[in-house]
Amino acid sequence: MSNLKDVKEVEVFHAGNVSVDELPWIPYFGDAKFKLLKANPVTGQTVTLLCVPAKMQLPAHFHPGTVIVYTVQGTWRYLEEPWISKPGDMVYEPAGSKHTPIAVGDEDVITFNIVEGTLDYLGEEGEIVARDNWESFLKRYYEHCAAEGIEPIDVTKF
């Protein structure tokens, strides 16, 4: 007996389009900011754009899930790695990785990020001092929209 279903029996989910220009940049760390493109409450996945000013270092962090980062603009690296990511490069971060991102070069960095699960920020001794996930990013998004008088788009649907 097969558990394959006839295509007619499968629930149909429709693809969604995100008009990125309609979404606001939200303050993140210092002068860094992000756009929340998708928050998935079922899987915990977030899809974001991140903009980091030239030469800025972000906090060290740990990912219990996988992360995919596509570099759109600028150059950046992890302090712990010898490579430099440039526009068009893709970085794959396996689950369980930790690192400290820094923008290198004279141009702001913009990355497209797909994060599975949490983003755990690390203290001096490697302890978790703060955590972001789909809920915290979504909360920041709604709070920012309310403060700026922006009509939020439901980024949990589609």
pLDDT at 127 (0 to 100): 92
pLDDT at 10 (0 to 100): 60
CATH architecture entry for 17-148: Sandwich (2.60)
What is the chain's pLDDT, residue by residue, as a tens digit (158 residues)?
Answer: 556 656 566 666 778 888 899 999 999 999 999 999 999 999 999 999 999 999 999 999 999 999 999 999 999 999 999 999 999 999 999 999 999 999 999 999 999 999 999 999 999 898 999 999 999 999 999 999 999 999 999 999 86
State how far Cα 82 lies from the chain centre: 23
CA atoms of 154 and 54, how far apart (whole Å):
31
